[in-house]
Amino acid sequence: MDLLKQITKWRRDLHQIPELGLEEFKTSQYVKKELEKMGYQPISVLETGILVYLDCHQDKTIAFRSDMDALKITEQTNCEFASKHQGYMHACGHDGHMAALLGFAKKLSQVPADFAYNILLIFQPAEESPGGANLICQAGILKQYNVKAIFGLHLMPTIEAGKIACRPGPLMAQNGELDVTVTGRSAHAGLYHLGVDSILIASQLICQYQNILTRVIAPVESCVINIGEIKGGTVRNIVADQTVFKGTVRTYSETVFKKITDTMQAINHGMEEAYGCKIDFSCPPMYPPVLNDYDLYAQFVKLTGDNYEELKEPLMLAEDFAFYQREIPGIFFYVGTKTERYNSGLHTETFNFDEEVLLQAVELYYQIACKIKLGE
């Protein structure tokens, strides 16, 4: 079986068995069996994660990572290899990421080279949540194998198929999940002065939070505060005693993220003093920003060939690959999948792609393994 047919089979098999983070038991079993067929001895990590270590008798190691988990989405692609797990779907391309890393493993086994570094393949669970990369780092895997650089990819339907896209420095945002509960006091609408209107207070909070972006944070910083859900009140003629709203905060700087959330809490305290309400606030940082190493990037670009596109701006998406880059230098890049036929966005029920783009990923991984040079 040629590599494209094999990669296509892997991807379509994996696509049919989507599982949520830290629950990828069927996925893990499938990947493990395929690696064993290649002659590897896979190592289990975090129950559902898998490592493959190629000892090239070198001091340093470079790592390549794929995520494994899926999403709670009901698939509507109508493809012949659609999800067999009702209500769950590989709608973010992780099935393709795994197939590409399996293809890379296959090529490493068939086309040996005099590698300058040991190679560690990481099939990582729980990218979507709670952040498997952080768990891998906490488990000491990078230190155990003396990993000094790491590489990863993401399929991207906003980029033309056949293109590799990346940029130095910030590539993706830090994100935090915002949860706010405003508790006031109910009263009849005709006696509103006896109550504390949680809807009014929540509305003012939302407006003041947005003002942080234009009056507190410097204009050169890119930030997003989005409120995507709000619920409050029960009856039209009653002052609402409780309102809940939820959203997300995103930026490319951990310092800016902290300044935003600190300012939000200061606003909350002021509102509590002014109205006599109680505000429960939570917005912990979820994933750090993805920051590509400049030295590795300069080498990476030379390996991509004519099909490379440097992104002018980073994206306000988030990715737990950033946890690896907190520990060691790394490069995260995009593989374009957009065609006339395949153009649905990530995390949609119709996301799909042509597996041929995965060959490009395998070849680039192999070029990195052969030619990348690490600093002292």
End-to-end CA distance of the chain: 41
User: How does 215-228 read in b/e, with b if 16+ C-beta sit within 10 Å?
Assistant: eebeeeebbebebe
User: How does 7-37 read in b/e, with b if 16+ C-beta sit within 10 Å?
Assistant: bbbbbbbbbbbbbbbbbbebbbebbbebbee
Q: CA-CA distance, 303 to 354, in Å (whole number)?
A: 23
Residue type, 370: C
Does the annotation mark 19 as catalytic?
no
Does the annotation mark 67 as catalytic?
yes
Check: CB of residue 351 under 8 Å from CB of residue 344: yes
Q: CA-CA distance, 211 to 208, in Å (whole number)?
A: 5
| Closest C-alpha among 90, 35, 36, 52 to residue 68 | 90
Residue 130: asked if its preceding bond is cis (omega within 30°), the reply is yes
Tell me which of 34, 95, 128, 319 is the catalytic residue: 128
CA atoms within 13 A on the CB side of 190: 0
Per-residue tokens: 33:
């069996």
Tell me which of 67, 75, 95, 293 is the catalytic residue: 67
H or E element that contains 332: strand 330-338
3-state secondary structure 45-60: ECCCEEEEEECCCCCC
Looking at the annotation, which residues are catalytic? Answer: 67, 128
